[in-house]
Amino acid sequence: KELLSFLDSSPTPFHAVESLKIRLLKAGFKELQEHEKWSIQPGLKYFVVRGGTSLAAWVQGIKPPSDSGFRLIGAHTDSPNLRIKPQPNLIQHGYHQLGVEVYGGALLSSWADRDLSLAGKVYVKSKSGKIKGHLLHHQEPLLRIPLLAIHLNRDVNEKGLILNAQNHLPPIYGLKTQNESKQGIHQLLSELLKVRKEDILSFELSLFDIQPASALGKNHEFVVSGRLDNLYSCYCALCALLMDSETESPQTRIAVCFDHEEIGSMTTQGARSSFVSSIFKRLNQIDSHSFERSCALSMMISADMAHAVHPNFSEKHEPQHFPQMNAGPVIKINAQGRYATSGISEALFDQICREREIPVQKFVNRTDLACGSTIGPFISGSLGVSTVDVGAAMLSMHSVREMGGTLDIDWLTQAFRGFYTRQDLE
Ligand code: ZN
C-alpha cells in the first residue's frame, strides 16, 4: 500500500523527490544544500537534492569512507512519457490540443485512449522579480489521445498500430467555442495554479495517466501502475536505507535516485553528472587520496527493473533465462558491458541473497537482440566502483501502465538491506 501511494503521489521526478524528502525528514535525516559548507558527523543521517529531481540520502559510517568505503544503491526517478512543448497551443478542426515531445523510450501506443492529466513544475515571476517554481499535479482527467476508429484503419490488427510522434500524439483537451479569446496552456496553468498568465516564464510539464496504482490478480500478486520503472527500485532502496538507519555501521550507506536515466543521464543531475563523485569527495577528508581509497573500498547496486518472461512472447527471451515475477531479485548480466555486473559482484549479490534465504534469478538477453542499459556502467566506470545490476522482474516496461510483482517489493528490499549491512565485500 505504501508503494502504491508513493507511485500515485509521484507523477514526475519533481514529485518523487518531494515524496522521498517527506519520508526522510520524518526519519530524522537532515537536508544539506550543495552550495553550503557541510560538517558531517559519523553515524548521522543526511540527504541532498540536485535540480529538484535527483536525490541522495545516506547514513554516515562510523569509520571514514577512506577506511571502509561506501555501499551505494542507485536508481532513477524518471520514466518515459510525453512532454509539453514550449509553445504547444494547437487548434485543429475545432479541437484544443497540445504539442508534445517524446521523453525517453515511451511505448507510444499505450498512451492512447487513456485518461491523462498534467504534472510537473511551472516557473513564475513573483512580485519581487524572483522566479518561483510551482509544483503542479492536476488530479482530474484533462487530456486524451484518441485512437483512430478501426473503420478508418481497417488493417490495424494485422499490420500493427503506427503512430507518428509529430502528427499523431497531440492530446485533445477541449473544444473551441465561439468568441473564445483567451485559451491555451498559459490560461490553463494560470487557472490551475492561481497565478497571472503573464507571469509564467517556463514550464517542465508531462502527461500522466490518472488511474491510480493498484494491486491486481486473483491473489493480488501483481502491482500495476505507471512509472514502476523505476520508482519501484527507488522505493525499495529508500526502505532498505531507512529500516537500518538507526544501526551503526562502519561503512557509509547511501541511496541515490537520479533523474534523466531514460534520456542517457548526461545532464546536470543525471548519473553521468558530478552528483555522486562530488558527494563522495565531500564526505572524505581532504588528505592524500582518501576519495580514491574510498572508491576502491566501495560497492554499488545499480537498481533498475528487469524483463519478466512474457507468456505470449516467450521467444523474445533467452531460453535458459526466464525471469519470473515474485521469484526474487534478478541479476542482469551482459557480455558487452551494457550492465555493470562482473563475476565478483554477481557472486557477492548471490551470496547476500543466499544468506537471507532470498530467491535470486539471473538474466541475459537473447544473443541476437540488442540489450538495454542502466546507470550502472557510467557510475561504475567513472568512480571505479564494483557494481552489480539488479532489479525486480516486470512486464510492459515503458508502457504508461506497467506490471510488477507484489512479493518482489519485500525480496528486493531485504536483499538491499543485506547489501547495506554486510561488512566484508569478499
Ligand atoms: Zn529503468
pLDDT in tens, 153-181: 999 999 999 999 999 999 999 999 887 76
Q: Can you give the pTM of this predicted structure?
A: 0.96
If residue 275 lies in a helix (H) or strand (E), which one and from where to where? helix 275-282
Residue 358 has pLDDT above 80, yes or no: yes
The pLDDT assigned to 288 comes to 76
The grid coordinates listed for 264 are 542517457
When pLDDT is averaged across residues 248-267 and rounded to a whole number, the result is 96
Q: How far is the CA of 126 from the centre of ligand 1 (A)?
A: 36
Q: How far is the CA of 226 from the centre of ligand 1 (A)?
A: 12
If residue 365 lies in a helix (H) or strand (E), which one and from where to where? none
Q: Please state, in angstroms and as integers, the Cα–Cα distance from residue 131 to each residue in 45, 53, 390, 426, following that order.
A: 31, 18, 40, 51
When pLDDT is averaged across residues 116-120 and rounded to a whole number, the result is 98
Q: How far is the CA of 150 from the centre of ligand 1 (A)?
A: 33
Q: How far is the CA of 368 from the centre of ligand 1 (A)?
A: 22
The pLDDT assigned to 174 comes to 94
Q: What is the DSSP string of 312-334?
A: T-GGGS-TT----TTS--EEE--
When pLDDT is averaged across residues 283-309 and rounded to a whole number, the result is 93
Q: How far is the CA of 375 from the centre of ligand 1 (A)?
A: 9
Q: How far is the CA of 331 from the centre of ligand 1 (A)?
A: 14
Q: How far is the CA of 292 from the centre of ligand 1 (A)?
A: 28
Q: How far is the CA of 261 from the centre of ligand 1 (A)?
A: 7
Q: How far is the CA of 236 from the centre of ligand 1 (A)?
A: 14
Residue 426 has pLDDT above 60, yes or no: no
The grid coordinates listed for 97 are 490540443
When pLDDT is averaged across residues 178-191 and rounded to a whole number, the result is 84
The 10 Å Cβ neighbour count of residue 422 is 16
Q: How far is the CA of 228 from the centre of ligand 1 (A)?
A: 9
The grid coordinates listed for 273 are 553528472
Q: How far is the CA of 197 from the centre of ligand 1 (A)?
A: 36
Q: How far is the CA of 193 from the centre of ligand 1 (A)?
A: 31
Q: How far is the CA of 264 from the centre of ligand 1 (A)?
A: 11
Within 262-385, strands assigned E span: 299-303, 306-307, 330-332, 361-363
Confidence of residue 183 (pLDDT cuts 50, 70, 90): confident
Q: How far is the CA of 356 from the centre of ligand 1 (A)?
A: 26
Q: How far is the CA of 76 from the centre of ligand 1 (A)?
A: 7
Confidence of residue 78 (pLDDT cuts 50, 70, 90): very high
Q: How far is the CA of 304 from the centre of ligand 1 (A)?
A: 5
Q: How far is the CA of 262 from the centre of ligand 1 (A)?
A: 7
Q: How far is the CA of 374 from the centre of ligand 1 (A)?
A: 7
Question: Rounded distance, CA 110 to CA 398, Å?
Answer: 9
Mean pLDDT of the chain: 96
Percent of the chain surpassing pLDDT 70 = 99
Q: How far is the CA of 409 from the centre of ligand 1 (A)?
A: 16
Residue 55 has pLDDT above 90, yes or no: yes
Question: Rounded distance, CA 95 to CA 54, Å?
Answer: 37
Residue 142 has pLDDT above 60, yes or no: yes
Q: How far is the CA of 2 from the centre of ligand 1 (A)?
A: 20
